Structure 1
Amino acid sequence: MIFLIALRDQHNFEYGIDKEVNGVVINDKCKELARKVKEIIDTKSSFADWLNNQNVRNQLKLDVKICLVKNGYPPRYCPEVFIKVMEQVENFEEHAETTLGSKFDLFANSAPMSQSMLVEEDGASYSKKN
């Protein structure tokens, strides 16, 4: 979720409402979108060697883009946002096993915050934007 919020702020568009709970800023809309993208990634990455299979990779890109558009992220068409999200997806998948020893759930509490991810560990904070 951190990445989606940062990308939103970088491109200066509204998406969801940030709220503070126990000193932690949460954006439920970004969190839900991150979960949807993760489901797509999990499905496509179940194919053996999906990063080297161009057909599977192209379908993943299309599915993620459709998911983003259906969920209004970003509200106005912006190819750069789609490219950045896909770079993040591919970066995570390419480095998950080498960095962490094995794949882990993006939502697991044991996920290190230094890992570039689409979502944040529960309890992590991000600067507030109204």
Structure 2
Amino acid sequence: MLRRDRRYRFALPPVFACNNVRYRQEQILKEKAFYDILVRVRDNHSFPYAEEKCITLAKEIAKLVNDKAQYADWSTRDDIKSQLNMDLTVLLYRNGYPPEWDEEVFEKVMEQAENFKKNENE
């Protein structure tokens, strides 16, 4: 049985013993967390950005964070963090989010990325 969050169009599968399913569920939850940040900032600053674009951007951010944060010590290595910062900035800019640059968006996304990787190791 799949649960659906009305605001977010990703099906959340139940946890099974299979590692692939568990990995996918964790990936979906990461995407949803980034989606929530994008929507919250969009709504707080009242700028237009389509729901589907938020979903697509959240998936791209989650993929980027997974690629850059694959090293155990990524949060203490300045070279990896600065590369992630630059890649996130470019990704947000290319997707036109937000229409006028706001440092809050960038800070929230980076904070969420660091939180996920810290909690993943616990």
Calculate the TM-score normalised by the size of structure 1. Answer: 0.62
CA distance in 2, matches of 1:13, 1:43: 29
4+ runs of 1 displaced by more than 4 Å? Answer: none
1:48 aligns with 2:75: no
1:57 aligns with 2:81: yes
Calculate the TM-score normalised by the size of structure 2. Answer: 0.66
Unaligned runs of 5+ in 2: 1-34
Larger % of helix: which? 2
CA RMSD of aligned residues (A): 1.3
One-letter code aligned to 1:7: V
CA distance in 1, matches of 2:87, 2:48: 23
1:77 aligns with 2:101: yes
**Higher relative contact order structure (alpha carbons within 8 Å, sequence separation ≥ 6):** 1
Unaligned runs of 5+ in 1: 17-26, 99-130
For each residue in 1:27-84, what CA deviation from the matched residue of structure 2 results, as whole angstroms up to 9, or x when unmatched?
2111100111111111111123111111101111110111001101101111222112
Aligned partner of residue 52 in structure 1, secondary structure: coil
